Amino acid sequence: MALVDRLQTACGVLPARVRRLARPRERLLAAVVAVLAGVAVFLLASELFPYHSSNHDEGVYLGQAAALLEGQFRLFPGELAEAVRPWFFVADEGRLYPKYQPLPAGLYAVSMALFGEPRVTLAAVTTGNVALVYTLGAMAFDRRVGLLAAVGFATAPMTLVTSAVFLPYAPTTLFNLAFAVAYLHAHRTGRGASAALAGGAIGVAFLMRPFTAVLFAVPFVGHALWEVGTALRARAGTTGLSGLLRTPAFGRQTITAAVGLVCVAATLAYNTHITGSPLIFPYEAFAPRDGPGFGRRRILEHSVEYSPELAVRTNAAVVWYLLTRWVPAGALGAALAAVGLAASTRVRRLLPGALGAGRSGDDTTGSTARLLLGGLLVTVPVGNVLFWGNFNILANPGDPTDGLLGQFGPFYHFDLLAPVAIFGAAGALALWRARGSVTTPVSELCPTSRAGFGRLGRVVLAAVLLAGLLVTNGALVAGPLAQNAAHTATYEEAYAPFEDREFENAVVFLPTPYGDWLGHPFQYLRNEPGFDGDTVYALDRGPPGNFEVRDAYPNRTHYRYSFRGEWTPDPGEREVTPLLEQQTVRAGPRLAGETTVEVPDRVTHAQVRIETPAGQTTHTDTDPGATLPVTWSVDRTNASLTAVDGESVGASVPVESVGEVVVLVRLVQPAGATLTYRQATTVRATGGGVEALWPPERTVCPLVDDCGREGTYLPDRENQYGLAVESQLEPVTGDGSPGG
């Protein structure tokens, strides 16, 4: 019976405990909203960005995360540094390190280690941000404001899109918001543990993005100084210096500052380890004129004279687009935030009860929270005027759908989402709660149904606000999602050759449409930190550089990746057809080649040329047939045009020790129109003769002889100009015949 009694008691206690944990219901609903937001971001990251986004910084953080898992802050490719240098990495005497601080990548590394999937971090960060917005809303106003703010933040366009990519803005906001919550909790309770947590959180944010953390912390630092100053003035002349130092405010703020400064010291130590100076951040080592300030700003080949006038004009546009397109409910949400901000100050006296008290009951914490959140609406936009990055995300200041801003929003202002969501929720509920002051409540017209109407009114309000938020935010986010989906569609086509096969012990040479960087634009193709994975990716840098990579990886299968078309920033103009070819080395005392070109109708004559950097020779065929065979050869000193269409030529040009041999066939029609087939073979002289990389790079171009990748010849499908070509290259044996 005793056992039965204990079981009955447990059965009664457990539900009661569960009910207590679920109280108040707003907390439970906020938890559900936070989890759903995390799931939504995970799905967006997986389905909308399976190959990552057009912001190629994602590859930087993921590469950095992989290095951290190997216990490395830097990569050590040695002499191959320029061949494998990723986007936004600094090259330093055979070592590579990213321009970004390591902590955001460290968060991604955690989920890579635990789950093998870094997108778990994106979901966790989003869940945490939504939960913290609820907590801040409840501290500043009440739990209903917190719940509505959490819903608004969770469904805001910038929350959904920016949180779904591997960038540092949402993670930094997570620690900034944690700092705000811990700071306010320490202010309310006086607990040193909360003060230490506040210092640690803002210190971690500083480790992530120093400038962002400073802008967020400014209102809190101002409040801390005011609070300490007030306490010291109150104690002055009564307790002496020791008494002043023992004031609760001074002790609490000292703890916060001390812990925060430890993280600042860690940042400076990292700088010293990486760049050699505590005051030189990695981003400065990469681009010294890329930091905050006015004057000439520069990164790589991009520069601008960032004047105060340009800064104000740019940031005014950025903030306008933020408030009308990217915050919860867009312009309506911004207007409600203005109401909430006003109602929390002067209007509060005009509408008694319009806003709830903070969680402390006496509203001391609430008023402090509102003051500090309001301060963020000043420090974040004003501070960002100093940063020219806001100029760079605006491809066209008059077009809010263009550039990075059109895809991800003004992410340097990500910290503004929380205060706008909280004040917006407060504004909406203030208008609802104040309705009785300006209109006759329906419940007074029907007193018998007053209680029922109150419940019905709350249900209707919740339904209307939720539906309005979802519909408005859905309409606002549709455009950015469509733009990002267009990028993903082109990535899917470009990466198709890599999805169709498994690589083992391979080297893949990648094109460089944006310059000599890996991961820009092909950030989905990344090396392992030791450059020893199943696939090693290297830049296609031409003959000397490519042979250098081959010599470093002699026992691997080598491929060259290219594409036909032009890689443009606008996915609507980007039409590329990928080409992945296995490369082999043909070697011998002499190599004999034959190139046979199909001749289209109405071609009157053909010009055949063989050229190297040292010279060229040309032969004209005045009566080509249906096909035009060209034989040629190369040895360690010369490239020769042997015969054209069976007619002996026997002309030669010198070859460099490492270079290209180009065979060019120009087909000419009566009106002067031309169609040119061009093949460039990479060759290198050796002690025993010559070696060449095969197959060559091939193009077919109308009107010009060389049109780059827009004319890339695709041997495995019908060419865009209907021109078929067969090429071969074999070593010549001792008796002069082709052979192995």
- Over residues 606-622, the pLDDT tens digits come to 999 999 999 999 999 99
The verdict on residue 647 lying in a domain is yes
DSSP string, 123-166: HHHHHHHHHHHHHHHHHHT-HHHHHHHHHHHHH-HHHHHHTTSS
The H or E element spanning position 303 is strand 302-306
675: nearest Cα among 700, 697, 696: 700
State whether 448 and 416 are in the same domain: yes
| Token output for 79 | 């002499």
pLDDT at 268 over 60: yes
* Cis peptide bond upstream of 695, omega within 30: yes
pLDDT at 16 over 60: no
State whether 355 and 251 are in the same domain: yes
pLDDT at 739 over 60: no
The verdict on residue 668 lying in a domain is yes
Least confident of 151-165, 566-580, 669-683, 708-722: 708-722
pLDDT at 234 over 80: no
Burial of 471 per CB tally in 10 Å (0-12, 13-18, 19+): exposed
Tally of structural domains, the chain: 3
State whether 569 and 689 are in the same domain: no
Please list the helix, strand and coil fractions of the chain in percent, rounded to the nearest 5, in that order.
Answer: 50, 20, 30
Give the pLDDT score at 89: 97
* Contact predicate 646/629, CB 8 Å: yes
Distances (CA, A) of 270 to 267, 338, 683: 5, 41, 45
Distance in angstroms (rounded) separating the CA atoms of residues 188 and 190: 6
Domain closes at, from 531, 548, 582? 582
Give the pLDDT score at 229: 84
Q: How many CB atoms lie within 10 A of CB 678?
A: 23
Give the pLDDT score at 350: 40
What is the share, in percent, of the chain residues with pLDDT greater than 90? 78
Residues 6+ apart with CB under 8 A from 698: 677, 678, 679, 680, 712, 713, 715, 725, 727
Domain closes at, from 476, 508, 529? 476
**What three-state secondary structure class fits 688?**
coil
Domain closes at, from 582, 610, 640? 582
Angle (CA) 485-486-489 rounded to 5° is 85
pLDDT at 351 over 60: no
* Contact predicate 119/111, CB 8 Å: yes
Distance in angstroms (rounded) separating the CA atoms of residues 106 and 166: 12
Give the pLDDT score at 442: 38
Give the pLDDT score at 23: 60
Residues 6+ apart with CB under 8 A from 3: none
The verdict on residue 12 lying in a domain is no
State whether 541 and 622 are in the same domain: no
State whether 576 and 607 are in the same domain: no
Least confident of 24-28, 122-126, 577-581, 634-638: 24-28
Distance in angstroms (rounded) separating the CA atoms of residues 306 and 200: 34
* Contact predicate 561/509, CB 8 Å: yes
Distance in angstroms (rounded) separating the CA atoms of residues 38 and 129: 9
pLDDT at 280 over 50: yes
* Contact predicate 337/427, CB 8 Å: yes
Give the pLDDT score at 315: 96
As a whole number, mean pLDDT of residues 338-345 equals 88
pLDDT band at residue 431, thresholds of 50, 70 and 90? confident
As a whole number, mean pLDDT of residues 107-132 equals 98
State whether 376 and 520 are in the same domain: no
Give the pLDDT score at 344: 82
* Contact predicate 562/709, CB 8 Å: yes
As a whole number, mean pLDDT of residues 339-354 equals 63
Give the pLDDT score at 228: 86
Give the pLDDT score at 340: 94
The verdict on residue 259 lying in a domain is yes
As a whole number, mean pLDDT of residues 293-297 equals 96
pLDDT band at residue 116, thresholds of 50, 70 and 90? very high
- Over residues 524-551, the pLDDT tens digits come to 999 999 999 999 999 999 999 999 999 9
Least confident of 309-318, 399-408, 414-423: 399-408
Global pTM?
0.90
- Over residues 438-451, the pLDDT tens digits come to 444 434 433 444 44
The whole-chain average pLDDT of the chain stands at 89
| Token output for 178 | 């944690």
As a whole number, mean pLDDT of residues 279-300 equals 95
Distances (CA, A) of 54 to 50, 51, 341, 489, 570: 12, 9, 36, 11, 10
Distance in angstroms (rounded) separating the CA atoms of residues 321 and 456: 37
Distance in angstroms (rounded) separating the CA atoms of residues 125 and 37: 10
Give the pLDDT score at 688: 87
* Contact predicate 406/479, CB 8 Å: yes
Give the pLDDT score at 721: 80
pLDDT at 115 over 50: yes
State whether 511 and 453 are in the same domain: no
pLDDT band at residue 232, thresholds of 50, 70 and 90? confident
pLDDT at 353 over 50: no
Residues 6+ apart with CB under 8 A from 732: 588, 589, 590, 591, 592, 633, 738, 739
pLDDT at 452 over 60: no
Helix ranges (H only) for 24-74 are 25-47, 57-69
Higher pLDDT, 284 or 740: 284
Give the pLDDT score at 459: 72
- Over residues 620-644, the pLDDT tens digits come to 999 999 999 999 999 999 999 999 9
Least confident of 103-107, 438-442, 495-499: 438-442
pLDDT band at residue 173, thresholds of 50, 70 and 90? very high
State whether 233 and 373 are in the same domain: yes
Give the pLDDT score at 445: 38
| Token output for 55 | 């912001």
The verdict on residue 73 lying in a domain is no
Give the pLDDT score at 27: 94
The verdict on residue 483 lying in a domain is no
pLDDT at 31 over 60: yes
State whether 288 and 418 are in the same domain: yes
Give the pLDDT score at 444: 45
pLDDT band at residue 347, thresholds of 50, 70 and 90? very low
The verdict on residue 739 lying in a domain is no
Give the pLDDT score at 443: 42
As a whole number, mean pLDDT of residues 277-301 equals 95
As a whole number, mean pLDDT of residues 453-457 equals 63
Give the pLDDT score at 29: 95
| Token output for 112 | 């890579």
Q: Angle 364-384/308-321 helices, nearest 10 degrees? A: 130
Q: Which amino acid is at 65?
A: A
pLDDT band at residue 253, thresholds of 50, 70 and 90? very high
- Over residues 50-61, the pLDDT tens digits come to 999 999 999 999
State whether 353 and 339 are in the same domain: yes
State whether 513 and 551 are in the same domain: yes
Give the pLDDT score at 1: 47
Question: 């190629």: which residue's tokens?
Answer: 56
The verdict on residue 738 lying in a domain is no
pLDDT at 476 over 90: yes
State whether 286 and 203 are in the same domain: yes
* Cis peptide bond upstream of 24, omega within 30: yes
Give the pLDDT score at 246: 67
pLDDT at 687 over 80: yes
The residue segments making up the domain with residue 504 are 496-582
As a whole number, mean pLDDT of residues 506-520 equals 96
As a whole number, mean pLDDT of residues 343-370 equals 60
| Token output for 464 | 């209307």
